[in-house]
Structure 1
């Protein structure tokens, strides 16, 4: 891969992690009704985002150029709905009206809009991928990252050989080289996996947009700790948007609420939200200062000091979760039940135990 040339650093700007409630489509009778609900919610988000950005610029003097929305904000999680049924009812089309509506917001408000949704890919009928996206101010989808670690949903790794044939490694770890910096996405609990962030950083990422729906707490949760670690070990900003609860399910509303945050490239939280729908997780992003830090020799330049070839043989020899678990011998993609992923994990644990590795 040939890296894109690094454009001049932008002036400092504000990034916003907009903490809003996700809205389940579970009770909607069909796809048309689910899509109507999603489009109505997008319109609401546009109004909330505009009002938030106006206040932030008046408060701090810098315009909002990047806004991050929470995980699966349009649909909530699938629950026990079968994978093909959820794909049919709720997963977005890659060129669907929901992306077009989000693109209109990004264009009208002149910002990069990041979020997360379940998405159908015509190359893989009958399943969906959880996709983190960045929409540019011209309305186009500038980045599309499919979650690689998921407990009960298909991932590109489950259809690995076919996915690589279609998208290549650039489509697995995409980085958007934009006028506000180099952006990569990390989905939900993937913030707990240092390899995901490091792979993006090695491809030039300076800002990690992190859409999540997680337990908020005044205590230091694993995700809160991981966000700070991923920031300082990669010398990168983390803009993490959590849900303000999930509407339309039997789960208590505030079970996944609070702690949206912006963390600087030294691992310091610059802002953090309390609970409820709020815009209070916002802060200035200084890409010029980040690049200066990355180019400075010293003990804290973790990217430059990383000796990657030390670890390559260990990673290459280790086989934990298998690739292509959904590829049949004839090359077709199998539609799994949700217990498929649990069975695969149980088999991995059993094998690692027999090998004396765990």
Structure 2
């Protein structure tokens, strides 16, 4: 029986415990049709390699790739990532995991159409991930980074994916962005395809367990996310066994939202925001930049970037000691489940299954009359 990447990391301590398989070696079969989740306060894990490890949050710039000549600038951006990986492992010592923001490879440009953005996007695996894999092996560091991505299984879509790469340079998981905000911009909407935008097909292809993915690694149970102000989603991660949640921001975030993720769920949470970003053509270089941070399971700040410059935020994660006492968050779900079951979100899921918008204005037109709220 073949085991896909989601199944492998959700089996827990069992036949697959402690093993690590490269992404290309795993079959593309559908994942679990139910959430892999215990009901006794515990959660699935694989054995730890280390009692504690050092997390490095890389606050780096955002430089948009030229859609007419994407390969050159992508290479430059990846080389800049490699330089920062070297710096992070320099005088301050090795970092076991280095965490970048959402767009260190492609950057972002609001003028891009879907066609432009797909030209700019990378494939996973691909040239860019191979370069980063070499650097991961050189320093013996795990890498977590976001990017716009093209996927042959989604030939009309632009994906925003956070990749988890181990210290051997193997891609062990890819997390889709869970949802985009809708109804908050004036006359336009985002056109990235998220899990929520194609929820029915996503579940059909990957299984329901992949909707809230938990990657069980020898460093601990890692979750990633590029969404903000969605406490229920992070609570669900914690219920499924998240121990370290790595969150990215693009152009700013609310520190309280990050702190609350740790405090309410008793887990480690890091936020990687972009640094000051030059030549963007829309705003001052430091607008929305800076503030990358790490919080401990009580919600206390462990480390923070006090500048918008490119910098490193580091914190030590005592994962073995943490795991001996950590349990799922205590939630009196029976009190609120009837309310959740009766609730309907403003926009229904799977809207992009019917039509894929071609740019931000087209997306605004398409979604204009799709709200379920009056």
**TM-score, length basis structure 1:** 0.83
Is 1:84–1:127's contact at 8 Å kept on the other side of the alignment?
A: no
1:106 corresponds to: 136
2:269 to 238, 248, 253: 238
2:35 corresponds to: none
SS in 1 for 2:373: helix
2:233 to 193, 196, 199: 196
Question: For 2:106 and 2:194, how far apart are their aligned partners in 1?
Answer: 18
2:249 to 212, 223, 229: 212
1:70 corresponds to: 101
* CA 236–196 in structure 1, closer or farther in 2 if over 3 Å, else same: same
* CA 84–171 in structure 1, closer or farther in 2 if over 3 Å, else same: farther
SS in 2 for 1:127: strand
Runs of at least 5 residues in structure 1 that lack an aligned partner in the other structure:
58-62, 216-221, 296-302, 354-358
1:162 aligned to 2:201?
yes
Question: For 1:121 and 1:83, how far apart are their aligned partners in 2?
Answer: 14
SS in 2 for 1:352: coil
Q: How large is the RMSD of aligned CA atoms in angstroms?
A: 2.2
* CA 322–131 in structure 1, closer or farther in 2 if over 3 Å, else same: same
Runs of at least 5 residues in structure 2 that lack an aligned partner in the other structure:
1-6, 14-44, 182-189
Residues 336-351 of structure 1 aligned to structure 2 (within 5 Å): 336-339=358-361, 341-342=363-364, 346-347=368-369, 351=372
Cα deviation, 1:25-76, whole Å, max 9, x if unaligned, reads: 1xx253xx3122222222222222222223222xxxxx41111112212222
Question: For 2:359 and 2:67, how far apart are their aligned partners in 1?
Answer: 22
SS in 2 for 1:55: coil
Residues 197-346 of structure 1 aligned to structure 2 (within 5 Å): 197-215=234-252, 223-251=254-282, 252-295=284-327, 303-320=328-345, 321-328=347-354, 334-339=356-361, 341-342=363-364, 346=368
SS in 2 for 1:305: coil
2:184 corresponds to: none
Residues 18-57 of structure 1 aligned to structure 2 (within 5 Å): 18-25=58-65, 28=66, 30=68, 33-57=69-93
Cα deviation, 1:164-211, whole Å, max 9, x if unaligned, reads: 111112332222211111111011xx2311122122222211111112
2:123 to 85, 93, 104: 93
- CA drift of 1:116 comes to 0.9
Is 1:104–1:139's contact at 8 Å kept on the other side of the alignment?
A: yes
2:222 to 177, 183, 186: 183
Residues 110-189 of structure 1 aligned to structure 2 (within 5 Å): 110-151=140-181, 152=190, 153-187=192-226
* CA 334–283 in structure 1, closer or farther in 2 if over 3 Å, else same: closer
Q: Which has the higher helix share?
A: 1
Question: For 1:212 and 1:235, how far apart are their aligned partners in 2?
Answer: 21
- CA drift of 1:343 comes to 5.1
- CA drift of 1:267 comes to 0.7
SS in 2 for 1:54: coil
1:60 corresponds to: none
Is 2:59–2:272's contact at 8 Å kept on the other side of the alignment?
A: yes
Question: For 1:192 and 1:304, how far apart are their aligned partners in 2?
Answer: 18
Question: For 2:82 and 2:349, how far apart are their aligned partners in 1?
Answer: 39
Q: What is the count of residue pairs matched by the alignment?
A: 323
Question: For 1:136 and 1:145, how far apart are their aligned partners in 2?
Answer: 15
Question: For 1:315 and 1:203, how far apart are their aligned partners in 2?
Answer: 18
Cα deviation, 1:133-172, whole Å, max 9, x if unaligned, reads: 2111121222211112214132122222222111112332
2:17 corresponds to: none
Is 1:127–1:335's contact at 8 Å kept on the other side of the alignment?
A: no
